[in-house]
Amino acid sequence: SRSNIELDFGGHRIRTEGIEKNTHDNPFGAVLSFRGTVTDTTVSHPLADRVIELTDTFPVPSSSKFAVGQWWAVQVAPVEGGGRDERELQKLVEITEIVDATHIRIGYLNGWELAAGRTLTWTRVEPVRDTHVRNMVFEGAGPDEYTGSHPVSFEYAVGCDVSGIHATGTFWPVIMRRWCTRFRTEDCSLKNPPTVEYGGAGYLTQQIYCLYGRVEDCTTSNVRHLNDLTASAYCTVVNCHGDGDDAGGNPFTTHGQYEHDLLFDGNSGLMDIANSGAQWGISAKRITVRRHVCSWFTANTKITDLTLEDVTVIARPTFDQAGTLTVNADGAQVRGCTARTFAVAQRSARSTRPTTVSDCSFELPAGAVLVQTPVTAPVHFVRCTFSGVDGAVLRGAGPVRLTDCTVTGAGDAAPLTVGSADLRIDGGRYENTGIELSAVRDQRITVTGGTRLLGRNKAGALLGRAAGPGKVTWDLTGISSTAGADTAHVRIADGTNHYLATGNRFTGGTLHLAPGALASALHTACVEDGTKRVVMPGDGGAARTDGNLIL
């Protein structure tokens, strides 16, 4: 419980053969274990009204029980019907102001709204303050949770920093933190812990219920996690690098216990956000990852307002040959990223901002599901490049828009299969690929803005539909389509369709518009250059196909 001390080991080596055995499941049984004093003063009360997001003012039964400068551990009761550890609020906070008789202000802007009726519990704490540990070489001993060792833990601590610890063979995290606020972990490393399979073990650092932390210039080799942020907020991880992660450990992870406002910048190693299971809520908000390199990145649980910038995922044959990047369609912004396999999932719908993928490059494997079945949110691809496309699937019902994208497949590749209820293509180039609507539901396809379609595909049609039950509405305006002699620019042979094509240029290829499949058809003001009309409706009634320039 010591505060205001500096332990500088001067680079000396610490070994722990024969150390006293630890107790079961105790990552706080460190060689140096710092813990604040938890008092028996508690305040517990249900909320009369909701507590809005991003507020630092909280209602209490009586503010006379609190004083400015005190520290309290505050937590909300678990979410009703949720996981047993699913709480939006668990933090060590300072009282900064007594607002009035029933309100206090704390040093934390709440990241999640709390509904009326939820119970808050405040427990007063005398934290360890400003105690630092530095410059240690640590050699762990023992292969399990009892005989293993690790150097440092902090619980209920404020302003306690760690730097220059270089560890080998530790069982529990080298630096373990819980209920901590305002801290730095710098220039630390871990290699070769005895296990990467045991939950909670083999980490460089873990932070649980933590605020205002910075982890910087750290490295790991052959570990489970370099950094784990659980139920934490306003933390930054910078210039940290994990290698030797083929065993399935992810150097960078969050538990999914309502983390929010985290920044990862300039790191490398596998990343897995909010994916530890429903017990904790699989939720996170406003996570930003910039300039990151890895061979696998997944963020497909209830992650709201995820921002990825310049993330590079390179397939690695010893781990994930698909080179996977997956995001949740709940306000995700993906910019300037590269991966082999990219997928959009959806597990939540909390955001007010759109899901947009811009200026990215993906090399999709055959049959890749680009937009997964549960996706109902709009997804917008802008200036993206998709190469090697062969039967990629946009399965979700939500609107999909592609603006100025480049999609390239092999000459005998299957077209993109699209289940979206509303597909809009504005500009871009689609070569040896094409679109086939699944017609599993009513669909609308709009292609405009100088979109170029070229080449051929396995289906023999650059724009077509399957024989599903859905009614399809076609709006084709201002496109340029160049097809081989055996390939249709448009083939409509099944179902019920409303077709409109104006101001398009068709070169080569064929047009196949079966009268029996057309409830209405307007094909006019188009240029058909060497294009064969295999079948077309006659003029009259709900069909008109005159007024075109046929060369």
Residue 64 has what pLDDT?
98
Count structural domains, the chain: 2
Q: Are strands 57-59 and 103-106 parallel, antiparallel or unpaired?
A: antiparallel
Write the DSSP string, 389-426: ESS-EE--SS-EEEES-EEEE-TTPPPEEE--SEEEEE
In a domain, 388, yes or no: yes
Residue 505 has what pLDDT?
97
Show Cβ contacts of residue 541 under 8 Å, excluding neighbours closer than 6 positions. none
Residue 44 has what pLDDT?
98
Domain extent, residue 546, equals 364-551
In a domain, 330, yes or no: no
In a domain, 246, yes or no: no
In a domain, 134, yes or no: no
The DSSP 8-state label assigned to residue 247 in this structure reads T
In a domain, 209, yes or no: no
Residue 248 has what pLDDT?
63
Residue 125 has what pLDDT?
98
Residue 247 has what pLDDT?
72
In a domain, 255, yes or no: no
Show Cβ contacts of residue 1 under 8 Å, excluding neighbours closer than 6 positions. 34, 35, 36, 37, 126, 128
Q: Tell me, what CATH number does 118's domain have?
A: 2.40.30
Which CA distances in Å does 231 have to 92, 112, 113, 451, 462? 12, 11, 15, 46, 49
Q: In the listed set 124, 144, 170, which residue is the last one of a domain according to the structure?
A: 124
Nearest CA-CA partner of 379 in 363, 403, 407: 403
Sign of CA dihedral 100, 103, 105, 106: positive
Q: Could you say which residues of the chain have pLDDT below 70?
A: 248, 411
Q: In the listed set 124, 151, 171, which residue is the last one of a domain according to the structure?
A: 124
Helix, strand, coil: what percent of the chain each, to 5? Answer: 0, 55, 45
329 contacts 398 by C-beta, under 8 angstroms: yes
| Helices and strands (DSSP H and E) totals, the chain | 0, 55
Half-sphere exposure of 308 (CA within 13 A, CB side): 32
Q: In the listed set 124, 154, 178, which residue is the last one of a domain according to the structure?
A: 124
**2 CB burial (10 A radius; 0-12, 13-18, 19+):** exposed
In a domain, 253, yes or no: no
In a domain, 505, yes or no: yes
